[in-house]
Amino acid sequence: MNIKYLASLLFVIWLCLPGFSQNLLVKGGWVFDTSSKSFLPNSEVYIQNGLFVDQFNGSAGWQTLDLSKEDYILPGLIDLHAHYRVSYANKAYDDTLAMPKIFLANGITSTFPAGEIEPEKMWDLQQEIDAGKRPGPRILHSGPYFGTAAPDWNPDFTEKDIRDRVDYWAARGALGFKAKGITAAHLAILIDQAHKQNLTVTGHLNSGYRNSVNPQEALEMGIDRIEHFLGGRLLADSIDAYQSLKQLDPLDPRLAEIISIYLEKDAYLDATLGTYGAIGMVDSPVFEDWANENQYLTPFARKLVEAMKPSSFNELCALIYPVKQGTLLRYYKAGGLITVGTDRPLLLDNYLGAGIGGFFIHREMAAMVEIGIPAGEVLYYATQQNAEAFGIADRAGSISSGKWGDLMIMKGNPVDDINRTRSVHTVIRGGKVFNSKELLESAKGKLGPES
């Protein structure tokens, strides 16, 4: 057999091996510098065996991607509240068909599912993505919820039960945990055991109403992140947190108390600001549908969505949204740590307003900029700060040697106009190049139940 032919054949076989990432050189354009939170001229970005490297190491198998002066490069976005969940007729499942493509196409290269409905199914998805059998982002596994949001949760779990549950999922490869519908006693055990495993805990908590946990109480326990709202004594424990929030004054001097606790504890707030605006059907350019997102739903799911009527929850979120805007801006000005998450499950029994998770990260960032947070800061939150909050800053968040070779490339400078993140056209995950348009085309009509 011809030696050159044999060598070429072996190289093709090597390319097809599971998990292979081609060595890639990205030239030209502008690249986001997480230190200055601005874009600098890009000379060369090297990705070898799926990781960023400082320079060429060897000569075989290198692919070059040449960019124009209109191209801007960000580290892959991290979504710290990325639901894959679809629910209808009181049944729920994690979508592994359309959601992974939609997340990846929008520049999201890492997702924290924030409570998995079908953990085993999500592990299978991750293995197929990592093996190159299907496109999708990295899955930073959470395992199942801790609390009544988990179908298998038992309110009578003992301390040993909870510690064993943490250890089991940690051994499986979970990278963090999410509490929802949990008691204070159970949450304290969860936090303690997760920290023994060097893993973080976040929580969708409440006001203290009906044996729930107020975020202030969780912060004293050492929780790492809080979802949705700050908490504190301004949330009356005689009513649900959302009923308290709608009447909270963002300028109330007493809000400084809870903000100071976040600062003292170095805790993060995953604001999920935009989802409340969407649920409340707020009239703002932030929530315009620039991508005709209903085309990604199955015909059956689309018909359900188009027939949905506003509910009292939509009205409640319309009242909550300006409160969240004011409190988040105050928290930001005080130096609070903020993360970026979308929180967009597809709930076909309960209308959450328009917007699919992958697309929604652009709305979440725009919603933050709309209240006065600089765009460079918001881009930093969605990359480096999200990585720090989740404890993976040694692997993700910036374009640095040894980190995952994940990038998103868009047209125009999003520091000048945050909406330019919507123009993402190329996504690189572990050195493998994906065309956003092709990913989205393959996801059309696939999200949601068929009947």
Q: What is the pLDDT of residue 16?
A: 37
* pLDDT tens-digit readout, 343-402: 999 999 888 888 999 999 999 999 999 999 999 999 999 999 999 999 999 999 999 999
Domain range annotation of the chain: 22-75+398-438, 77-396
Fold category of 77-396 in CATH = TIM Barrel (3.20.20)
How is residue 210 annotated by DSSP?
A: G
What is the token pair recorded at 69? 């002066």
Mean pLDDT (the chain, rounded): 93
Q: What is the pLDDT of residue 62?
A: 83
Q: What is the pLDDT of residue 354?
A: 87
Q: What is the pLDDT of residue 4?
A: 39
Q: What is the pLDDT of residue 428?
A: 98
Q: Which residue has the higher pLDDT, 190 or 6?
A: 190
What is the token pair recorded at 105? 């196409």
* pLDDT tens-digit readout, 165-219: 999 999 999 999 999 999 999 999 999 999 999 999 999 999 999 999 999 999 9
Amino acid at 391: G
- Candidate from 184-188, 207-211, 320-324, 413-417 with smallest mean pLDDT: 207-211
Max distance between CA atoms of the chain, in angstroms, equals 81
Amino acid at 443: A
- Could you tell me which of 282, 265, 186 has the C-alpha nearest to residue 231? 265
Fold category of 22-75+398-438 in CATH = Urease, subunit C; domain 1 (2.30.40)
Q: What is the pLDDT of residue 58?
A: 66
